[in-house]
Amino acid sequence: METTEIARWCAELDLPRSYAELHRWSVENPEAFWKQVWDRFGVIGDRTDDIITRGDRFRTTRFFPGARLNVAENLLSGRTVDPITHTSMTFNNELGHQRSLTLAELRELVSVLQQAMHRAGVGVGDVIAAWLPNVPETMAIFLAANSLGAIFTSSSPDFGVAGVVDRFGQINPKLLFATDAYLYAGKAHDTTERLAEIQGALPTVEATILVPYLNAEAAPVNTIGLAEFTKDLTPEALTFTRVDFDHPIFVLFSSGTTGAPKAIVHRSGGVLLKLLSEQKLHCNLAPGDRAFYFTTAGWMMWNWLLMTLACEATVVLFDGSPFHPSGAVLFDLVDEHEITLFGISAKFIDAVNKADMRPAESHDLSSVRTICSTGSTLVHESFRFIYDHISSDVHVASMSGGTDLCGCLVAGDPTSPVIAGEIQVPGIGMDIAVVDDAGERLDAGQQGELVCFSPFPSIPLRFVDDPNDERFDAAYFDRFPGAWHQGDFAEWTEHGGMVISGRSDATLNPGGVRIGTAEIYRQVERMAEVEEALVIGQPWDNDTRIVLFVLLANDAVLDDELEARIRSTIRTGASPRHVPACILDVPAIPRTRSGKISELAVRDVVVGREVKNTEALANPEALAHFRDRAELR
């Protein structure tokens, strides 16, 4: 407790030393709190004394109006580290290739890219798009673009042509940075044919710069190699264009499968302050720490990881499969680089558990102080697996938020006990609540909608191509006026923690009773015979029935005996109303590219609706297994 940022804040504010007290103060004194975030964490920029100007609606509230800053300047400042010796970034891939950049070397790379972009006419408000793997150049391209006041967006190279065009085609990029190939699970995937199609569908792109990954030879026709793009340029002192606090920094894209992805425009100062508050307080990240998150450049956790540079941490990058050549690859990475913040998904922990791995027996892992998990619910068994078989002396920080706010609504607390199955605390500076359909706050143990009643800096600026903010308001504010509506089904626990039971638009309603899908997954996926599962509500006989799909492990067979045990497990572990009416086995479960199970896409297939955005799925072919199940009709 004494070494945490939370303890230091409490001591200086003369508060009882608990996160709950600091959170209460932050919600009751928002102007003082966000000013403290700026000042305590050394944000570089021109701050005004006007901290919050409240609008007539939740989304029109403005933070730090009149302030000017540059995010890249803050990420590259190196206030307390020696740029010559401090390792800013370390890259690894599944071939075993490694390279590191000191802060000085990163600044030099950014300087050359900055000059090249300036030479290409890039200025304030231009859009720079990156179709790249998780390599240092991707982060350096962001830093260079942002230093000039340009807007950055990225997508991973496993996206197909339609997926890239659906995203980048909405935002009219001026420059496109792309790769020749990427690696996954021991296989090289050439991207040059897809790149030619993408170029033809993006008429605003003035130049395509190829960042070579596997082939360092000449760039394909109609592209410029990175070396050619930066030719004759040498590192110079960096310059930074300071912009308004609300100037766009990123365009992130929703991963839904119900239509074209939403292009979400985020604010420069809002993202910087929100993630500084999360990483410093909830994750206790400090200068010299080594931060890793398993992600691609197509998931918002890449942006989250990038922003740890503002904490003067070393960013550890990995590109490839977390199970190639074996499931030990990420744990090898932890020991080799002495990672202190180890970020993974709930699915990864579940897969390691089901593979019967015991990392604590095969690895040291003593450097890890925090294990962050997001992407989906971390169930009770996964908490216990971490403490029993990865590290008994670690803070497990389950988090939930998302692309919409480029951050977390609920997160971890390094100063209080971790309770299996619970997210520990509401986000700092955020008045989080669970409400009923009328918007009234619910007590512990009552399930309802997750909302935030207080404005926060990283509320998105807008959606692209959304006149009068109609889709924007419908997404977040129309359901509960005066609150941010996250779209999750949740409940507080008696410990003050939170359990999220799934997306509220995927909530099941058999007999008119709302139940979350996570409660079913927890029971089913603990069974050795089940690799993973997917559950939907299907309209049936003027009601809704629960349909459970299971991907079986090894040589398991879905016979009458296994079906009976699945139902019994759910009935005993959850309740009789959670028991599915129909259980079917499938050879694959569709997931989004960020690893989330796509319940809505399967529900659409089952009821006969078209899935409009299959490019959002990592394995869209899996939908055919659900479409062909005649017994569902």
Contacts of 3 (CB under 8 A, 6+ apart): 284
Phi and psi at 59, nearest 5°, equal -75, -15
pLDDT of 218: 66
pLDDT of 399: 95
Q: Are residues 591 and 470 in the same domain?
A: no
Looking up residue 126, the CATH number of its domain turns out to be 3.40.50.980
Residue 7 lies in a domain: no
Distance between CA atoms of residues 535 and 607, nearest Å:
14
Listed residue (381, 333, 390) closest to 358, CA to CA: 390
Distance between CA atoms of residues 363 and 326, nearest Å:
14
Residue 445 lies in a domain: yes
pLDDT of 236: 97
Q: Are residues 290 and 423 in the same domain?
A: yes
Residue 253 lies in a domain: no
Q: What is the tally of structural domains in the chain?
A: 3
Distance between CA atoms of residues 118 and 86, nearest Å:
28
The two three-digit tokens of residue 299, written as one number: 């998931």
The pTM of this model reads 0.89
pLDDT by residue (tens digit) across 554-594? 889 999 999 999 999 988 887 787 899 999 999 999 988 77
Phi and psi at 598, nearest 5°, equal -100, 80
Last residue of a domain, one of 472, 501, 530: 501
For the chain, what percentages of helix, strand and coil (3-state, to nearest 5) are there? 35, 25, 40
208 within 8 A of 161, measured Cβ to Cβ = no
pLDDT of 630: 45
- Residue 336's Cβ-side half-sphere holds a number of Cα atoms within 13 Å equal to 17
Q: Are residues 451 and 387 in the same domain?
A: yes
Distance between CA atoms of residues 50 and 109, nearest Å:
36
52 within 8 A of 259, measured Cβ to Cβ = no
**Number of other CB atoms surrounding residue 61 within 10 Å:** 18
Last residue of a domain, one of 501, 523, 545: 501
DSSP string covering 143-168? HHHHHTT-EEEEE-TTS-HHHHHHHH
The two three-digit tokens of residue 267, written as one number: 């604010």
DSSP string covering 392-449? SS-EEEE-EEETTTTEEEEE--TTS---TT-B-EEPTT--EEEE-TTS-B--TT--EE
Residue 1 lies in a domain: no
The two three-digit tokens of residue 1, written as one number: 């407790």
Q: What amino acid occupies position 571?
A: R
Judged by phi (left if over 0) then psi (alpha if -120 to 50, else beta), residue 185 lies in left
Q: Are residues 315 and 399 in the same domain?
A: yes
The two three-digit tokens of residue 188, written as one number: 């090289």
Looking up residue 360, the CATH number of its domain turns out to be 3.40.50.12780
Residue 556 lies in a domain: yes
Strand ranges inside 212-355, DSSP E: 224-225, 243-244, 248-253, 263-267, 290-293, 314-319, 341-345
Tell me which long-range contacts 366-369 makes (C-beta under 8 A, separation of at least 24): 366/391, 367/290, 367/334, 367/335, 367/338, 367/339, 367/340, 368/334, 368/339, 368/340, 368/341, 368/342, 368/394, 369/284, 369/289, 369/340, 369/341, 369/394, 369/395
Looking up residue 527, the CATH number of its domain turns out to be 3.30.300.30
The two three-digit tokens of residue 465, written as one number: 């191509």
Residue 84 lies in a domain: no
Q: Are residues 284 and 351 in the same domain?
A: yes
Q: Are residues 462 and 337 in the same domain?
A: yes
Residue 11 lies in a domain: no
Q: Are residues 618 and 570 in the same domain?
A: yes
Q: Are residues 327 and 463 in the same domain?
A: yes
Distance between CA atoms of residues 506 and 529, nearest Å:
25
Listed residue (367, 360, 408) closest to 384, CA to CA: 360
Distance between CA atoms of residues 386 and 378, nearest Å:
11
184 within 8 A of 158, measured Cβ to Cβ = yes
The two three-digit tokens of residue 277, written as one number: 């508050």
Q: Are residues 558 and 618 in the same domain?
A: yes
pLDDT of 2: 52
Domain of residue 102: give its range.
96-244
pLDDT of 216: 65
Last residue of a domain, one of 473, 501, 529: 501
Q: Are residues 474 and 522 in the same domain?
A: no
Q: Are residues 122 and 54 in the same domain?
A: no
- Indicate the SS3 state at residue 463: strand
Contacts of 121 (CB under 8 A, 6+ apart): 174, 206
pLDDT by residue (tens digit) across 329-376? 999 999 999 999 999 998 899 889 989 999 999 999 999 999 999 877
pLDDT of 614: 81
Residue 266 lies in a domain: no
Residues of the chain with pLDDT under 70: 1-2, 216-218, 255-259, 511-514, 542, 628-633
User: Beta strands 543-552 and 582-585: pairing type?
Assistant: parallel
Listed residue (472, 473, 476) closest to 262, CA to CA: 472
Q: Are residues 421 and 285 in the same domain?
A: yes
